[in-house]
Amino acid sequence: MKVFRFFKPMQLIYFVLVIIALTVYSLKQHGYQLPLFINNFLNDLLCLPIVLGIITRVIQFLKKDSEFKLPIGFIICLATYYSIYFEYYQPRVNNRYTSDWIDVLLYFIGGFSYFFISRYKTNKKSI
């Protein structure tokens, strides 16, 4: 498969995560019935890894430093921000949003997953 030769393994995984999230979003917008976990929780789990990947790539580009990694403190702050904004604030001002503690957990799981996978990749390169 020639298409996959253009991607590094982590870029391919990231690309697949983005495609999955966009597919779930599109199917929900068109009224398809999805399984409970996929419908209610999958995009919350994928949200922070996708956002953190974008932030990391932008900073790497701006700093011209391909080895730059986001610190754990930033990831925790962003997961906390998303939790407060989407699970506390938005449900109070917009009927479209609902508050769900499982979403909070998924934001943090996604953020920590991104942190550990990005560190694993770095450690793997030095071997």
Q: In the predicted model, what is the mean pLDDT of residues 75-85?
A: 97
User: Residue 30 carries which DSSP code?
Assistant: T
Smallest Cα–Cα separation from 44: which of 72, 79, 14?
Answer: 79
Can you give the pTM of this predicted structure? 0.82
pLDDT digit string (tens) for 15-66? 889 999 999 999 999 988 999 889 889 999 999 999 999 999 999 999 999 8
Integer Cα distance of 100 and 127 in angstroms: 42
How many CA atoms, within 13 angstroms, populate the side-chain half-sphere of residue 105? 4
- The pLDDT value recorded for residue 4 is 52
DSSP 59-99: HHHHHT-TT----HHHHHHHHHHHHHIIIIIHHHH-TT---
- What distance in Å separates the CA atoms of residue 32 and residue 35, rounded to the nearest whole number? 10
Start-to-end C-alpha separation, the chain: 28
Over the stretch 89-103, which tens digit does the pLDDT of each residue have? 999 999 988 899 999
Phi-psi sector, 48: left (phi>0), alpha (psi -120 to 50), beta: alpha
Q: How far apart are CA 105 and CA 111, in angstroms?
A: 10
